[in-house]
Amino acid sequence: MSVTANELAEIERANQSGLRPVVFVHGLWLLSSSWDRWRAFFEEAGFTTIAPGWPDDPESIEDARANPDAFASKMVQEVTDHYLEAIAALTEIPAVVGHSFGGLIAQKIAGTGVSGATVAIDPAPFQGVLSVPASSFKSSAPVVSHPGTSLKHGVTLSFEEFQYGWANALDEDEARRLYDEFHVAAAGNPIFQVVMANLNPFSETKVDTKNPDRGPLLIIGGELDHTVPVKPTEQAYKIQSKNPGVTDIAILPNRGHSLTIDHGWAEVAKVSMDFIVGADALTMTW
């Protein structure tokens, strides 16, 4: 069992609430606490929420920075299975919201048919998405340029690397504040899994996009995102739109990869919530 005592307590709280649950999935270089404002926003609107971490995630930013290797060696399917275990313990079908690699994992979860509605924000590409813009290569360079280190240890971005990949749409003061408040080390393995996905028929980044029980899906992209630019986001949408379920896309202008944590987070949260509420009314599955 990989779900922690704190995560079990969150799940029990959600089950006891009798409200519709929303599961938040964070990506690389963040902890689950990066969703705290989103959780409050959704709970004020009448949802209950849980935000499990990745397996072995430290409990706090301070602990994470003291032990960056706690993030080492994580794999996409291992993390997906952790969230599926948490979802299996819920008594109501949840909505799932994920960002970056969390957006990829959210789509993998949706592909198993256990999500009532899914929002994938700046999602890391799944197998079959072929576009790899130059900015994606540059954003991933801190990992892929040093495989001997990044496959064995947690990878911490310099401020300049964070500014390019995450905060290019922000002024420097806000970029530094976000770096100081949220940034932690990350596993390098998932990035290599994405890089090799279309050469590996057994890649863990594979998503079941055809499952008729996938449920409604919204893909959100940031117009200025350097890490997951618009083109691969649009390709993911094109593939997912062949599913019989509702599939929508929203490209938010002047937003970068930091859009879930920067000054405009509430706009993204509202777009996500509106979709989930509309999907609930449309499907009547909850």
Show the CA angle centred on residue 7, arms to residues 91 and 115, nearest 5°: 40
Closest CA to 128 of 191, 194, 192, 79: 194
Q: Does the reported pTM lie above 0.85?
A: yes
What is the predicted pLDDT for the residue at 286?
46
| Tens digit of each residue's pLDDT (9 = 90 or more) over 87-132 | 999 999 999 999 999 999 999 999 999 999 999 999 999 999 987 7
Task: Determine phi and psi for 167, rounding to 5 degrees.
Answer: -115, 25
Where exactly are the structural domains of the chain? 5-283
Which three-class secondary structure state does DSSP give residue 235? Answer: helix
Q: Which two tokens stand for residue 65?
A: 């920075």
| Confidence class for position 196, pLDDT limits 50, 70, 90 | confident
Which residues contact residue 79 at a Cβ distance below 8 angstroms, ignoring those fewer than 6 apart? 54, 55, 101, 105, 190
| Tens digit of each residue's pLDDT (9 = 90 or more) over 127-182 | 999 877 888 878 998 888 888 888 889 999 999 999 999 999 999 999 999 999 99
Considering the domain 5-283, what is its CATH architecture? Answer: 3-Layer(aba) Sandwich (3.40)
Statement: residue 6 has pLDDT above 90: yes
The H or E element spanning position 31 is: none
